[in-house]
Amino acid sequence: MGRAFEFRKGRKMKRWDRMSKDFTRIGREIVIAVKEGGANPDTNSRLRTAMQNAKGVNMPKDRVEAAIKRASSKEEGNYTEVVYEGYAPHGVAIVVETATDNPTRTVANVRMYFNRGNGALGTAGSSDFTFTRKGVFKLAAEGLDRDELELELIDFGADDIYEDSEEDEHGNEKHYIVVETAFSDFGQMQKALEQKQLNVISAQLQRIPNTTVHLEGDELEEVMNLIEKFEEDDDVQAVYHTLG
């Protein structure tokens, strides 16, 4: 079948792996949200956001409902959210967000990844200062005019609005409009988008790097290998870095 087939197969496997990881990550978000604020999305904004994000990655409805039901059970354990900071080699700052039912296991794994990747696990505040926390909303671009949207949303805290695209799990390119807000304006913007009944694909609080480090060749590969180790860990919810 040749190299072209193997290339397509490799890309498909990566998309499936990413989808599986997304389901695990959002399943934990749902559990945490339900434990915090109950199983009714109408009165629990964090659960509403998690369900919205589940829809954005095509997580089956029955899996979402099962996660809510499981989280409502007293038998379901709690997840602890822990943020780890450190540095990859070549001066790249890394922040790792986790949700774990076993912090001892998680910190041991995070430390191992840093050590084996020639990086170093730091203390709280050692690298987080190189990022700014922002609300990032991804909207389906169809039927939207970016300039008009900016005028509508600027009073609700829109800092930046731009177009973006990515491949879905089937390899089709999907186009989005991304709205960024200050961390403190996340809830206000979420409410405004809901009231305007816009098609929100995802709503997240992200860490945006203030400066980036440009690497090439073996140095780039070394840092990317470390980042991938974190992303493959089931306890890891998100990885942020200053690699440009």
Of the two residues 118 and 20, the one the predictor is more confident about is: 118
The count of structural domains within the chain is 3
- 124 and 229 assigned to the same domain: yes
Q: Specify the pLDDT at position 19.
A: 72
Q: Specify the pLDDT at position 14.
A: 53
Q: Specify the pLDDT at position 17.
A: 63
Across the chain, the runs of DSSP E, i.e. the strands, are: 80-87, 93-100, 120-121, 131-140, 158-167, 173-182, 200-209, 236-241
- 189 and 224 assigned to the same domain: no
Q: Which pLDDT band holds residue 174 (cuts at 50, 70, 90)?
A: confident
CATH number, domain with residue 198: 3.30.70.980
Q: Closest Cα to residue 168, out of 43, 4, 18?
A: 18
Whole-angstrom distance, CA of residue 90 vs CA of residue 118: 9
Q: Count CB neighbours of 125 within 10 A.
A: 8
Instruction: Report which DSSP code applies to 77.
Output: P
Q: Domain range for residue 174?
A: 132-208
Q: Which two tokens stand for residue 225?
A: 């290998």
